[in-house]
Amino acid sequence: MKISTHIYNIGQGLKNVWRNKMFSLASIATMTACIFLFGIFYSLGTNFQSMVKTAEEGVAVTVFFDEGISQNRIDEIGNEIKKRVEVANYNYVSAEQAWEDYQKEYFGDNPDLAKGFEQDNPLANSANYEIYLNDVSMQPTLVSFLEGLDGVRKVNQSEVAAKTLTDINKAITVVSMAIVIILLAVSVFLISNTVMVGISVRREEIAIMKLIGAKDAFVRAPFVVEGIFIGLLGSIIPLVLLYFIYDKVVKYASEEFNFLSNMVSFIPVETIFKTLIPISLMLGIGIGWIGSRVTLHKHLRV
């Protein structure tokens, strides 16, 4: 196709949007509603997942060593731990450090109470590695590996916390996936219906084009431009709305429920939108493009 024909088709596509104002508005409104809902669920899901992740980061596995183990072996165990994919990071806590931390926590107000133990560290055998995981669902695998290591006396783990967090994470993933799939199916259905109505109104125009020798691509182009334009608007509008609503809700929640700030932290609007913008634009444009192409297909067999 010539460049002038492309320009003509783009112009015709945009004119079609205006000529079919009501259908265009209906399509844009449908897409706006679907992508808006998608955005809400995406934001909620991502925030929940981030909260669970934060909680997971606090879950640690502690490894204690056999009595009289050499520092060499402790370092070797450290190296083994480092190599594991399950491990996000780990700290070595020496017996002295462990006792110091204990004193701070329990004898903070009465340091005299700890004086009796000055020459004899009661936690002499409590040197340990504190291991934080990438994903708590991997905890059992790591624990059985650690328990099998030579020189390891005991592995402490928070089984209940890990299981609860894993279950919550799974539930959030399943629920948000299901909602997103349902929303996508609904939007494809609604949009292709709207496009179909728009096209059947212009069946005569398509038939005339075909009878005077228009190629399929020429007939299709304005409809595809129209679909993409509607898709673009139908995704930009909900994105703008979501941006302001999300920002306001997060600010409001952080101010009003300040006491929750230790437990709950929201993902900043910029982070959410870094993913949400391309997904929504692709969804909008993709649905518009596919909808117009698929719906037009049967009208072109003339």
CA 59 to chain centre: 21
C-alpha torsion sign, points 200, 203, 205, 210: positive
Cβ proximity of 207 and 302 under 8 Å: yes
Shortest CB 230 distance to other proteins, Å: 18
Nearer to other proteins, 148 or 213 (CB): 213
Q: Cα(266)–Cα(246) distance, rounded to whole angstroms?
A: 10
Nearer to other proteins, 116 or 213 (CB): 213
Smallest CA-to-CA distance from 289 within 41, 25, 31 is with 31
Shortest CB 284 distance to other proteins, Å: 27
Return the C-alpha torsion angle 210, 215, 216, 222, nearest 10. Answer: -90
- Give the CB-side neighbour count of residue 156, counting CA atoms within 13 A: 10
Q: Cα(222)–Cα(300) distance, rounded to whole angstroms?
A: 14
Nearer to other proteins, 188 or 214 (CB): 214
Shortest CB 294 distance to other proteins, Å: 18
Shortest CB 205 distance to other proteins, Å: 6
Nearer to other proteins, 8 or 90 (CB): 8
Shortest CB 18 distance to other proteins, Å: 10
Shortest CB 204 distance to other proteins, Å: 7
Nearer to other proteins, 15 or 170 (CB): 15
Nearer to other proteins, 171 or 208 (CB): 208
List the alpha helices (DSSP H) in 60-158: 71-83, 95-106, 139-147
Which residues make up the interface to other proteins (CB under 8 A)?
Answer: 1-2, 4-5, 8, 19, 204-205, 207-216, 218, 301-302
Q: Look-up: residue for tokens 């009878």?
A: 211
72 exposure class (CB count in 10 Å sphere: 0-12, 13-18, 19+): exposed
